[in-house]
Amino acid sequence: MSAPDTVLKVADLGVSYGAATAISRLDFEIRRGEFVAILGPSGCGKSSLLNAISGLMAPSRGRVVVDGDELYLPRSRDPRLGYVFQAHRLLPWRTVKQNLEIVLAASDVPRETWDARIDEILGILHIAQFRDSWPMRLSGGQRQRVSIARALLVDPSYILMDEPLSTLDEVTARSLRQELTGICQRTGATVVFVTHSIREAVYLADRILILTRGPSTIFEDYRVPIERPRDYDDARIAEVEADIIRRIQAPWGLGPAEERQSA
Partner 1 sequence: MPDLIAKTMPFLRLPRPGPALAGAKLPGLVIALGSMLLIWHLGAMAVLPWIPAPADTAVEIWANLQSAEFWHDFRLTLARVLGAFALATLLGAAIGILIGLSERAEAFFQPLLALALAVPDPVYIIFAILAFGTGETAGFVALTVAVAPFVSNIVRSSVHARDRGLDEMARIYRLPRSAFLRESLLPQLVPALLTAARFSFALSWKLAVVVEAIGQPDGIGASIFESFRLLRMREVAATAIIFILAMQLLERGLLGRLEKRLLRWRA
List residues near partner 1 by CB under 8 A. Answer: 54-56, 78, 80-81, 83, 85, 87, 89, 91-94, 102-103, 105-107, 134, 136-137, 150, 154
Shortest distance, position 128 Cβ to partner 1, whole Å: 21
User: For residues 22 and 13, what is the distance between their CA atoms, to the nearest angstrom?
Assistant: 11
For partner 1, which is the closer residue by CB, 105 or 242? 105
Smallest gap, in angstroms, from Cβ of residue 106 to partner 1? 5
CB of 165 to partner 1, least distance (A): 17
For residue 200, the minimal CB distance to partner 1 (Å) is: 22
For the chain, the straight-line distance linking the first and the last C-alpha, in angstroms and rounded, comes to 36
- Torsion 112-115-116-117 (CA) sign: positive
Residue with Cβ nearer partner 1 (1 or 136) = 136
Min. distance of Cβ 139 from partner 1 in angstroms? 12
Q: Which residues pair with 212 in a beta bridge?
A: none
Beta strands in 212-250 (DSSP E): 218-223
H or E element in which residue 14 lies: strand 6-17
Name which of 103 and 218 has its Cβ closer to partner 1. Answer: 103
Nearest to 262, CA basis, from 102, 95, 43, 18: 43
Are 96 and 131 within 8 A, CB to CB?
yes
Kindly tell me which of 121 and 208 has the beta carbon lying closer to partner 1. Answer: 121
Closest approach of Cβ 55 to partner 1, in Å?
8
C-beta separation of 8 from 66 below 8 A: yes
* Smaller CB separation from partner 1, 24 or 76: 76
Q: Ramachandran region of residue 223, left (φ > 0), alpha (ψ -120 to 50) or beta?
A: beta
Contact in structure between 158 and 7 (CB atoms under 8 Å): yes
